[in-house]
Structure 1
């Protein structure tokens, strides 16, 4: 099985600790999939600077296929990060060359050669979802915490697995939202709830999974690693509850160290 992750990347800068780590939603998922034994590729854009070289080398060091990593004149995306009581807090973000990133015809051909394509709301890929879907791609999309973004309504019909990270469970309102979202097309809608675990809706009912208990050093990448774990279950044809349990187990590993990976 091969999975392609397309979209955003960045260097996460922990200024207070004097450290920087490669990251970004699509990049993280690609790396976590490799950690879980799945062949993965990354499609995105970095600058022709030292940060771009760092990110490329780091991905290749993890065994991720970077044959469709674009290198453009300019700066690689940077995000300022602080950690408060173990929780990552995002500061200023400079998108750099990713601001102009768009999938090429060659990228689309490459993505369609994989068993699953995973991308997200920050990756500038939403306009191409309909094309990918029409060509037979299975698509997982991370909407992050942007439940009200117009991209949600515009893209759900082309998404097979929709992920949201909403942190809090507001009961009936959340479940109503998930029902509406799933009715638009996805086989399953999954909401991660931070320390409260996750909830999924597949049209038949709601399934809840608790987080795996353990040390929390840094929450950076926890949601992305959940997605990667969940998708290994999808690739293996496992029941929804097992997919969610795999997501929780993968996330628990990421919580134990600083940075995404």
Structure 2
């Protein structure tokens, strides 16, 4: 467990430009980036390591990272496309027209950045992380967490200190078999977030549960990331009880659902160049 008062926290992995076609706006997000943003917003010392392309989408993400107060020097500009998600909304339901993981998929930090991970107090890896990076962190005995979302077993979980996974919202579906399977796969501790059903935490001895707060949801994007950020600082940094950490984390998730996007930001209008770039995808969806 972390013992110092000002822990060094680093997230590694995904970022994304979320494009809401129906509303003609776009927002910056991504699990790893969102977690770092939430830490920064709450006064924690945080860094974000990730990659974007040398394209206009990457410019938007780097601009937002700078506005937030994270260092854009920690973001690598690489040859390739920046991650983009195109969404349409109707009656509260989201339809994904495109989920391009871009250059950030399986991102591996540079040697100098990896040295920073070794000296960090906690590292969080976002979705679609590198199997190689996970194994390296385990081998070097680094305190870290991994978000596997719904792809629970896409990479080896052996020795991973803390795994965050998405579970069923339906109360008729049991969560204990899912938690047991994640632990059997090698996860030492497991958090299962189940939307309106709340969240569960298993440390191998006890399973705790915290119900979700009842709110009028604006947008669920980033709610799980806010949960992760708060749970890590509450449980791993401030050494609060599992019960308290779960309650604080669910409250943070609920707060994020009250605004558009994964964190408070000025939503940008979709520029003409983006409509042009993805015209075929948008047109194909409209024809369906």
- How far is 1:47 from its partner? 1.2
- How far residue 59 of structure 1 moved from its aligned partner, in angstroms, is 1.4
Structure 2: distance between partners of 1:20 and 1:81? 10
Q: Is the contact between residue 15 and residue 81 of structure 1 (CA under 8 Å) also seen in structure 2?
A: yes
Q: 1:71 to 1:39 in 2, by over 3 A?
A: same
C-alpha distance in 2, partners of 1:135/1:66?
27
Contact kept in structure 2, 1:129 and 1:158, CA below 8 Å: no
| Residues 88 and 220 in structure 1, CA contact (< 8 A), matched pair in contact too | no
Taking the aligned partners of 1:174 and 1:216, their CA distance within structure 2 comes to 24
Residue in structure 1 matched with residue 197 of structure 2 by the alignment: 196
Task: Give the drift of 1:184.
Answer: 4.9
Consecutive unaligned residues in structure 2, runs of 5 or more: 1-6, 264-288
SS in 1 for 2:205: coil
Contact 2:16 2:29 in 1 (8 A): yes
Q: Distance in 2 between matches of 1:129 and 1:192?
A: 21
Per-residue CA distance 1:19-59 (angstroms, 9 max, x = gap):
11111111111111112221111111111122212211211
Q: Counterparts of 2:102 and 2:136 in 1: how far apart (Å)? A: 26
Distance 1:118 1:84 in 2: 33
Alignment equivalent of 2:240, drawn from 235, 238, 241: 238
2-structure distance, mates of 1:76, 1:157? 30
TM-score, reference length from structure 1: 0.90
1:161 and 2:167 correspond:
no
Structure 1 gaps, min length 5: none
CA distance in 1, matches of 2:71, 2:181: 36
- How far apart, CA to CA, are the structure 2 residues paired with 1:143 and 1:81? 22
Aligned to 1:258: 260
Q: Secondary structure at the match of 1:11?
A: strand
Larger mean Cα displacement after TM superposition, 63-72 or 89-98: 89-98
Find the counterpart in structure 1 of residue 114 from structure 2: 108
User: Size of the alignment, in residue pairs?
Assistant: 256
Alpha-carbon shift at residue 176 of structure 1 (Å): 2.5
Distance 1:239 1:11 in 2: 35
Structure 2 match to 1:137 = 142
Are the equivalent residues in 1 in contact too, given 2:147–2:164 (CA < 8 A)? yes
Pairwise mapping of residues 1-261 of structure 1 onto structure 2 (< 5 A)?
1-86=7-92, 88-99=94-105, 101-123=107-129, 125-147=130-152, 149-151=153-155, 154=156, 156-168=157-169, 173-233=174-234, 234-261=236-263
Aligned residue for 1:199, secondary structure, equals strand
Greater shift, 188-197 or 157-166, is seen at 157-166
Q: Which moved more, 1:94-103 or 1:7-16?
A: 94-103
Matches of 2:93 and 2:167, distance apart in 1: 15
TM-score by length of 2: 0.82
Query: Can you list the C-alpha shifts for 1:201-232, whole angstroms capped at 9, x where unaligned?
Result: 11111111011222210000111111011111
The Cα shift of 1:164 comes to: 0.6
Deviation at 1:89, TM superposition (A): 4.2
